[in-house]
Structure 1
């Protein structure tokens, strides 16, 4: 019996999270299939999101206890301790973030203010006293520089290039105990407290950058799209960083997990369509879609077989030889009242070409007709070359990318016949009508809903602008990060 085949066709320095949008991973192409550019507007939004996470992290800042002893003339030996430091109030003040050309990012913050609670205790001779305190930190500034680079094999890497913090003033309010004891030890502790805070601030930043770097290293080298195809979107060159943006070039090639055979046509260079009023710019070249078509074609997945049960009831042609008697006269004579099957497949990989304002799709296919005289065999009777051309439009559909197709050309050619020669013009007309009236409308209804672009968890794309350029699809979009 003839068996139909079917088509097979996401806690660190969050201020940097936008930069790794769409990150995939070794590469060998000299030109990218996908470009991504984060603009100043995107960097500023990343800063706003990141500062909220940074504030949350600093409110949990762990400050070691301070304790020791010293001698004071006329007073004697003093033992002190300040313990249980806990940040209660934090105001980070103004913050600025900027691209550092050919390097990475720099962040400055302040003047910031903080209130820190804790416990104090003092032992002087036989006197023991203790209580609580509230430490007021004012005019605190922080400067951080982060290097953004690649490892030469496709992965994005980040590292801390430097961190400095400065505390302008420390004021303390003591509660409990004798006031004369306060003055004995706080003057001695002011410098150690200042050093501890400065050290811990930069330590926290450094840990966050290291966490982000570890996260980047866990991102797999390819994205699994289907059992037949994976997508390699690794970096092909180091990030391009200017005062205005950071640009990431990704390979963007589909390949078979089984063979890893590369698409024989390399990607053509292209430049992003500039749209600086959006946070993120994306460019997806024709190379990406064409490499996908090549993979599915090589796997034999661009094929489908239809039997009569799959044909809409109102369609004028049924899949039996009786319906084909005026189209292929000899068929009914040799196989009277026999059920049929049609196998439609790609005889070459489909190809896509982007032109300003429109997409051109070329679908070189074929149609093999079979008769099914019994339950065990399928007899080929004729083969047609089916060449289809369509134009496409791409648009934003809510938060997704939608599309629509329009048939521009359709032709049939008799490639081989086991039932004698026959004209194909009537069959071509009927199939043309079926494509325009039934098949394409069904496809367009699905395409209208659109498909979401991949994003990080809790991130969504908003206010997309889509433009079809020569050789690539350009997308300019804002990004929203939320719970």
Structure 2
């Protein structure tokens, strides 16, 4: 991991076809960069304190000397800032950095026939050190973010050299050179440390970011960057693909992302906007590949007084629709459900809803296991969804569900639709709703890295848009936790009619 926390999230944290609008947008504000700067200083401080300077050899008038065991001590972190430059560039500047270097020295003096040698310890104090490095943000061919260090410069103010041991007049022969040599070595090392952190550590970290997240067994969420992040005077912003594909078929959905709501403030570190497009591509792919099928049977209900019985002493479908009880006594009714259109997610101010249409075919399964068609219900429904989130996952639950039914293709004559509506409503309340809520607890994963978590977040629903306003929390040594990535119910539990 490295200094620019913000870039980790530019996943983190995406193109074959560029959409007019993205499905996912990420904005990092100046507050986010200020936080990144704090972490950057901590990381650089740790790196500098463990840096070793190479041994040095030199000579002055009549004297040769060597410096060894040069260790950096008493490092004073700088006053620094990461500023927004232009287009896709950042600038990291630091001033008022100070430190001491301790080491050993040895000398050999020779003038004519006079020869002698000695040594001792040396202390070098630096003050008013400053550095500046440019940072370029980009995107590679796979849609992953890239980062590269630009030109780096490092300067220092007065250098004080103090020797202990040996003859004081000897020091004057090479003390000036010692200060310049060590200053030059440190300045070179400092730029090397910073550029290495950017070009190696940061880039390696970014290369591990997944731009494609698997959702269950069959779907993938595409988080590719559509272009290099844009840098303005107030924030960095990145547009991501934000589309869900069938895992083995990357065909685009036949509709484009709508324009997302405009962010009106920059008070938080990070702003994440998710388009309803993401969810609509998910339901489109699920419908196109026949995932949205489900057989509701007595095994799903698991109740003592099963409403799907055709024969009972209290309330069941056999009494609500007498002709079923009469024609198929001591049997079980099954509801075979299948979407007829892709469900559509709509997000408006403060509300998220899903509209769905499907067919429900009712069958009677006799004690001998034979299956007999009864009638078809053309159903249309709407679901109001309540959303919550934690540091990495958005969770959903059913707040309200309404379904309207229209019976057609009946093999048993006219059907009491009110009784049928009561039956279906009860079955959905006791079976389908808990199933959807269980799916919602798995959650919808946010792009992130192991070292970053969302913190102090606010969640808003705006026109066509989910908006997450959040700060960041950096975790230097994260512990691995069990994945909460969204998982669909295995395919063998979504039986189609043909498999019955």
Could you state the TM-score of these two structures normalised by the residue count of structure 2?
Answer: 0.86
Cα displacement string for residues 240-287 of structure 1 (whole angstroms, at most 9, x for unaligned residues): 211100111000111111122221111112244233211110110010
Indicate yes or no: 2:40 matched with 1:88: no
Cα displacement string for residues 284-307 of structure 1 (whole angstroms, at most 9, x for unaligned residues): 001000111122223322222232
Count of matched residue pairs = 468
Take 1:225 and 1:448, find their aligned partners in 2: how far apart are those partners?
A: 14
Take 2:26 and 2:37, find their aligned partners in 1: how far apart are those partners?
A: 18
- Mean CA deviation greater in 327-336 or 449-458: 449-458
Structure 2 counterpart SS, 1:417:
coil
Indicate yes or no: 2:166 matched with 1:181: no
Q: 2:99 aligns with which of 114, 121, 124?
A: 114
Structure 1 counterpart SS, 2:360:
strand
- Mean CA deviation greater in 297-306 or 280-289: 297-306
Cα displacement string for residues 391-418 of structure 1 (whole angstroms, at most 9, x for unaligned residues): 2343456876444433363211113223
**Paired residue for 1:476?**
469
Cα displacement string for residues 46-101 of structure 1 (whole angstroms, at most 9, x for unaligned residues): 1111111111111122322211345x2xxx3x221111221122112311221112
**Paired residue for 2:116?**
127
Indicate yes or no: 2:194 matched with 1:201: no
> How far 1:123 sits from its partner (Å)?
1.2
**Paired residue for 1:386?**
379
Take 2:428 and 2:457, find their aligned partners in 1: how far apart are those partners?
A: 31
**Paired residue for 2:410?**
417
Take 1:196 and 1:236, find their aligned partners in 2: how far apart are those partners?
A: 42
**Paired residue for 1:249?**
239
What are the equivalent positions in structure 2 for 1:16-35 lying under 5 Å apart? Answer: 16-24=6-14, 26-35=16-25
What are the equivalent positions in structure 2 for 1:151-162 lying under 5 Å apart? Answer: 151=140, 154-162=143-151
Q: 1:100 aligns with which of 55, 61, 85?
A: 85
- Mean CA deviation greater in 280-289 or 354-363: 354-363
> How far 1:446 sits from its partner (Å)?
7.7
Indicate yes or no: 2:451 matched with 1:466: no
Structure 2 counterpart SS, 1:243:
coil
Take 1:375 and 1:139, find their aligned partners in 2: how far apart are those partners?
A: 91
Could you state the TM-score of these two structures normalised by the residue count of structure 1?
Answer: 0.88
- Mean CA deviation greater in 330-339 or 102-111: 330-339
- Mean CA deviation greater in 105-114 or 170-179: 170-179
Q: Quick one: structure 1 residues 352 and 381, their matched pair in 2 at CA, closer, same or farther if it must change by over 3 Å? A: same
> How far 1:215 sits from its partner (Å)?
3.1
Cα displacement string for residues 407-442 of structure 1 (whole angstroms, at most 9, x for unaligned residues): 363211113223334232211133335545775478
Structure 2 counterpart SS, 1:184:
coil
**Paired residue for 1:3?**
none
- Mean CA deviation greater in 468-477 or 378-387: 378-387
Cα displacement string for residues 290-337 of structure 1 (whole angstroms, at most 9, x for unaligned residues): 111122223322222232132152666134466333444433343222
Indicate yes or no: 2:340 matched with 1:351: no
Structure 1 counterpart SS, 2:104:
strand
> How far 1:239 sits from its partner (Å)?
1.5
Q: Quick one: structure 1 residues 193 and 402, their matched pair in 2 at CA, closer, same or farther if it must change by over 3 Å? A: same
> How far 1:358 sits from its partner (Å)?
0.7
Take 1:416 and 1:64, find their aligned partners in 2: how far apart are those partners?
A: 88
**Paired residue for 1:5?**
none
Superposed CA RMSD in Å reads: 2.7
Cα displacement string for residues 337-375 of structure 1 (whole angstroms, at most 9, x for unaligned residues): 223322223222211011111112102122222222356
Contact 2:273 2:466 in 1 (8 A): yes
**Paired residue for 2:287?**
297
Query: Tell me, which stretches of 5 or more residues in structure 1 are unaligned?
Result: 1-10
**Paired residue for 1:325?**
318
- Mean CA deviation greater in 251-260 or 402-411: 402-411
**Paired residue for 1:406?**
399
Indicate yes or no: 2:421 matched with 1:428: yes
Structure 2 counterpart SS, 1:325:
helix
Q: Quick one: structure 1 residues 472 and 176, their matched pair in 2 at CA, closer, same or farther if it must change by over 3 Å? A: same
